[in-house]
Amino acid sequence: MSADLMEMLLSQLGGNNLSALSNHVGANEQQTTSALSGLIPVIMGALAKNASTQEGASSLFNALQKDHDGSVLENLMDGFTKGSTVENTGRATDGLGILGHLFGDKMGNIAQMIGQMSGMNNQSATSLMQGLAPLIMGMLGKTQRQQNLDSGGLMSLLTNQTQQHTSNQGQNQLSLVGKLLDSDGDGSIMDDLASIGMRFLSK
């Protein structure tokens, strides 16, 4: 079984980084930890859905090649702070742009649900989401390069990571937000994520 990238990122965001991150978004460490444990699998799940077709996987592969070599992980707080800047250029390096491509107009609802789950306010949850998105992309880009993955390999990696995590401690959090994303009530968030947009960060 491959390493759990979600757990690796959560670990890197601990300690002093957790304290700085919490201060930045205006929440306490317990709230931030709870929110991260929900957000990471949700964002990864959305990425997995985007990469579940050859077209989507190719678009994600191109975005990683262009903008995400993993260097953002060398200084997590710097990368997080830049990612959480309130702007939407549509670029893959812009946290708000990434989330917009993934979740469309449901982004605010997800932030509200994460806030309720963790106890932080909506503004803090939104800032956390924006800062986290480029870090996740950076970790994917670094892993893609280390393992020399093509678009098909990237598709498999994301599928395996999502299945691996949701079978463990992330299941409750993913289920909670999954209900929010399942707009047609059929019990699956995957078709809803697909309808939000399969054109992933190809600009």
Check residues 121 and 187 and name the one with the higher pLDDT.
121
Counting the structural domains of the chain, the total is: 1
Q: Give the residue among 142, 167, 150 at the shortest CA–CA distance from 12.
A: 142
Report yes or no on 160 lying in a domain.
yes
Per-residue confidence (pLDDT) for residue 198, from 0 to 100: 34
pLDDT higher than threshold 70 for residue 159 = yes
pLDDT digits (tens, 9 = 90+) for 161-192: 877 655 544 444 444 445 555 554 555 544 44
pLDDT for res 192: 47
Assess if residue 173 is contained within a domain: yes
Task: State the burial class of residue 66 (Cβ atoms within 10 Å of its Cβ: 0-12, 13-18, 19+).
Answer: middle
The least confident of 30-34, 62-66, 107-111, 196-200 is 196-200
Residue 85 three-state SS: coil
pTM of the model: 0.80
Per-residue pLDDT tens for 23-69?
Answer: 999 999 999 999 998 888 888 888 888 888 888 899 999 989 988 98
Q: Is a pLDDT exceeding 90 seen at residue 135?
A: yes
Does residue 14 form part of some domain? yes
Instruction: Give residue 114's pLDDT.
Output: 86
- State yes or no: pLDDT of 97 exceeds 70: yes
Q: Is residue 179 part of a domain?
A: yes
CA atoms within 13 A on the CB side of 45: 26
Alpha-helical runs (H) found in the chain: 5-12, 15-25, 29-50, 54-67, 76-83, 95-103, 107-118, 122-146, 151-166, 171-181, 190-196
**Which domain does 165 fall in, by range?**
5-196
Please name the residue that has the structure tokens 């880009």: 141
Does some domain include residue 146?
Answer: yes
Residue 160 binned pLDDT confidence (cut-offs 50, 70, 90): confident
Confidence bin at 85 (pLDDT 50/70/90): low
Percent of the chain with pLDDT over 70: 74
- Is 202 inside a domain boundary? no
**Residue 99 covered by a domain:** yes
pLDDT at 2: 54
- Is 201 a member of any domain? no
